[in-house]
Amino acid sequence: MKILRARELGLCFGVRDALDAAFRHPRPRETTIHGELVHNRVVLDRLRERGFPMVDESDREDSVSTPEVLITAHGVSDRERERLRAAGHELIDTTCPLVLRAHDVAKSLEAEGRHVVVIGRPGHVEVEGLVGDLGSYDIVAGPGDVRDFGRARLGVVCQTTTPAGRVRDTLDAIERENPAADLRFVDTVCQPTKERIDAVEELAELVEVIVVVGGTNSNNTKQLARLSESRGVPAHHVQGAEDLRAEWFDGVETVGLTAGTSTLDETVDAVERRLEQLAAGGFSASIDKPA
């Protein structure tokens, strides 16, 4: 069995920077992480081992007892930053610069008098931060959520991990349902997301099955798996090597490997080693654990 890696996969620069800031931070027990630093089980376990308290993403308005708060790579609204500072917390901000750009674009569009439409996953922590400073907005996950917004001027932005194809289809639907609106679209999908999507599309032409490595609640990892399926190639979303199942690869000659932007290099390497064991007929051998 042949194993092919996607041309682009795994950690993006924004996540690398966030991880570096967290693991170099000298006072983990005095610093609460405001949600999940990244959507990755291995990383979260290591942060807990270091002593970081964490606020659940579903209720980030909970009171924080530590003097410092670490803002995650997904970002928060300016209002939330102000709330935390007003409560006396010092902020350590690891927001991805490309997420910050999306915030700036959304606020600029609203300042132009536009109703802002965000193409993204409702309830996702990045999207919640993106709309947190807006007074007039709608969130649409895809074309099926689009309606006549009843506004003369519209501004459209995207969650940074939205697939380009979904953006195009949703934008077409917005234009179709709001034909008289003055519409301005700014593409805020990040370049690492685009590169990983392009790489999976290329990979799908070469393999019979694709293994996608990443957290179960990682939006961009799920998107990679869905993209593979949409190209007619079965995808198996795993968090680590221990999740692989031998029966997935019965009769398969070529397997593709990719990973979401919050997946550690060592996790991808461990999955690849495990696939190589299968290819060599030794899938029952012990799993290599990430260091």
Residues acting as catalytic residues: 126
As a whole number of angstroms, the distance between CA 265 and CA 277 comes to: 19
As a whole number of angstroms, the distance between CA 124 and CA 139 comes to: 11
Q: Can you say how many angstroms the Cα of residue 218 is from the centroid of all Cα atoms in its chain?
A: 5
Per the CB < 8 A criterion, the answer to whether 98 and 119 are in contact is no
Neighbour tally for 269: CB within 10 Å: 15
As a whole number of angstroms, the distance between CA 234 and CA 207 comes to: 10
Give every CB contact of residue 184 below 8 A, 6+ residues apart in sequence.
109, 112, 114, 153, 154, 155, 156
With residues binned 3-state (H G I as helix, E B as strand, rest as coil), the percentages for the chain, rounded to 5, are 45, 15, 40
Give the strand order in the sheet containing 182-185.
137-140, 115-119, 153-158, 182-185
Structural tokens at position 84: 């935390």
**Coil, strand or helix: which one is 243?**
helix
